[in-house]
């Protein structure tokens, strides 16, 4: 049963249509934030046009969508096993709803939370059961989080046709970003609007300069006195020249000279300013600049490798932990043996030589069994791979020698 069927059967509570859809998503234009000091409007649409913002959002969203998401069950002996025989495994690992794969769902939800502070999905339960069958994302601006009483929360969801329904906390999956209070997240774009606004302004200024053929605005002056007719004719001819001959040479008579009024791109340090704004935007989103294709000339292979590792620890791991805890408590049983986990082993894989040396060390030092090492490589286990292995040149390892017989001349005993 899909979301539309549930609405028709009245399984979800419905109220009279509220505000029109255009008013519901008015917050996407950011009109209530006011303009930043740069004078540029910063909202969802303009922010996504900034390459650094788009890159940061994609890095975080794809970092949460690319790893395999598994559901494990804790056994009484302390071991764990994949819980592939329950509906929640397919829900989270393969297909959360009728329209999206797990990758698409997690990427969409993470983008919503990264940019707008909150991501929301409506739970669709199987008829006669409390188990979640589908998770339907609700776009930002199409839901309101209301506190109708002390510690009482409800989620009012809309679409372009009007009010979908009013849901309690148990009926939605809520993925927050940065929180200052108990229920609602902080407005991320509003917090970062100065850095994003300056990025927009710098890009617009440089684009205007290029549109003008790379020449700054200037002043035409003459020591003499000229009539209004000459000035009018000069304005028209200068506009025509600037429009059609950006790379040509102007000829001025009657003693006119040209004096630039605006600084050139080099004088304004456009490149340096834009590089710095990339770092500012990356800092606001908690992303290392190298992950969005921005690095200085001093970066080396070793430093880049360290930054990639730091990206997993400091950028992705907090998001993964948010996903894990939210899924465990609000989609899975919450207090039972089921729990979700991201498979991020691919993020820490080194070269084949390094991986081979690591595997040999783990086995020979009896830190891991052969099957555990094989599992880390994504391989199936072998029959005798659950026992710790000792090499033949180590005392007690390998095949034990048969005791010497009494008639053996080499027996000195």
Distances (CA, A) of 214 to 49, 205, 209, 246, 263: 23, 11, 5, 8, 11
| Whether residues 155 and 256 fall in one domain | no
For residues 128 and 270, give the distance between their C-alpha atoms in angstroms, rounded to a whole number: 63
Assess whether 142 and 239 both reside in one domain. Answer: no
Whether residue 158 lies inside any domain: the answer is yes
Residue 320 is predicted with a pLDDT of 95
Residues spanned by the domain of 378: 352-400
178 shares a domain with 320: yes
In a domain, 405, yes or no: no
Q: Specify if 338 maps to a domain.
A: yes
The reply to whether 309 and 175 lie within a common domain is yes
Is residue 408 in a domain? no
E strands present in 126-235: 132-138, 143-149, 152-159, 162-167, 172-176, 218-221
Domain annotation covers residue 130: yes
Same domain, yes or no: 304 and 382: no
Same domain, 297 and 341: yes
Q: 3-state DSSP call for residue 57?
A: helix
Tell me if 92 is assigned to some domain. yes
pLDDT, mean of each 10-residue run, the chain (413 residues):
44 38 43 63 87 94 94 82 90 94 96 93 88 92 87 89 90 92 85 86 74 61 72 73 60 66 56 84 91 77 77 93 94 85 82 82 87 82 81 53 44 43
Helices (H), ranges, 170-267: 188-191, 193-211, 228-244
Q: 168 and 37 in one domain?
A: yes
What count of Cα atoms within 13 Å lies in the side-chain half-sphere of residue 371? Answer: 9
Q: Are strands 172-176 and 162-167 parallel, antiparallel or unpaired?
A: unpaired
Q: Are residues 130 and 65 in the same domain?
A: yes
Identify whether residues 374 and 340 lie together within a single domain.
no
279 and 310 inside one domain: yes
Q: Alpha-carbon Rg of the chain, whole angstroms?
A: 32
Q: Does 411 reside within a domain? A: no
Count of structural domains within the chain: 3
**Do 334 and 384 reside in the same domain of the chain?**
no
Neighbour tally for 50: CB within 10 Å: 21
Same domain membership, residue 236 and residue 133: no
> How do 143-149 and 132-138 pair as beta strands?
unpaired
Q: How far apart are CA 195 and CA 49, in angstroms?
A: 14
Burial of 92 (0-12, 13-18, 19+ CB in 10 A): buried
CB count within 10 Å of CB 350 equals: 11
Would you state the pLDDT for residue 10? 39
- Position 137 in a domain: yes
């Amino acid at each position: 049963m899909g979301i539309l069927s549930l609405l028709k059967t009245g399984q979800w509570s419905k109220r009279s249509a509220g505000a029109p859809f255009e008013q519901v998503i008015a917050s996407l234009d950011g009109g209530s934030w006011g303009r930043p000091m740069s004078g540029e409007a910063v909202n969802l649409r303009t922010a996504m046009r900034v390459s650094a913002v788009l890159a940061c959002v994609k890095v975080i969203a794809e970092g949460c969508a690319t790893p395999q998401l598994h559901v494990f069950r804790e056994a009484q002996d302390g071991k764990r096993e994949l819980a592939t025989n329950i509906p929640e495994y397919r829900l989270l690992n393969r297909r959360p709803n009728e329209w999206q794969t797990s990758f698409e769902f997690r990427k969409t939800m993470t983008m919503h939370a990264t940019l707008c502070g909150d991501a929301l999905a409506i739970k669709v339960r199987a008829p006669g059961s409390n188990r979640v069958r589908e998770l339907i994302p609700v776009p930002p601006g199409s839901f309101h989080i209301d506190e109708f009483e002390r510690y009482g929360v409800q989620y009012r969801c809309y679409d372009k046709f009007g009010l979908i329904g009013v849901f309690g906390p148990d009926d939605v999956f809520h993925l927050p970003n940065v929180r200052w209070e108990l229920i609602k997240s902080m407005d991320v774009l509003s917090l970062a609007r100065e850095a994003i606004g300056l990025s927009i302004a710098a890009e617009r200024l440089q684009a205007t300069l290029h549109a003008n053929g790379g020449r700054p605005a200037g002043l035409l002056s003459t020591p003499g006195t000229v009539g209004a007719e000459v000035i009018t004719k000069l304005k028209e001819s200068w506009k025509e020249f600037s429009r059609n001959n950006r790379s040509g040479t102007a000829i001025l008579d009657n003693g006119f000279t040209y004096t630039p009024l605006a600084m050139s791109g080099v004088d304004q340090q456009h490149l340096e300013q834009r590089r710095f704004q990339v770092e500012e935007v990356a800092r606001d989103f908690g992303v290392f600049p190298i992950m969005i294709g921005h690095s200085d000339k001093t970066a080396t292979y070793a430093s880049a490798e360290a930054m990639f590792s730091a990206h997993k620890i400091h950028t992705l791991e907090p998001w993964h932990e948010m996903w894990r805890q939210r899924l465990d408590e609000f989609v899975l049983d919450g207090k039972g043996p089921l729990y979700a986990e991201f498979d991020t082993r691919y993020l820490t894989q080194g070269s084949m030589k390094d991986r081979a040396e690591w595997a040999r060390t783990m086995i020979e030092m009896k830190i891991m069994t052969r099957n555990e090492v094989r599992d880390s490589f994504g391989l199936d286990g072998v029959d005798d791979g659950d026992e710790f292995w000792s090499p033949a040149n180590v005392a007690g390892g390998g095949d034990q020698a048969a005791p010497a017989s009494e008639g053996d001349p080499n027996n000195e005993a």
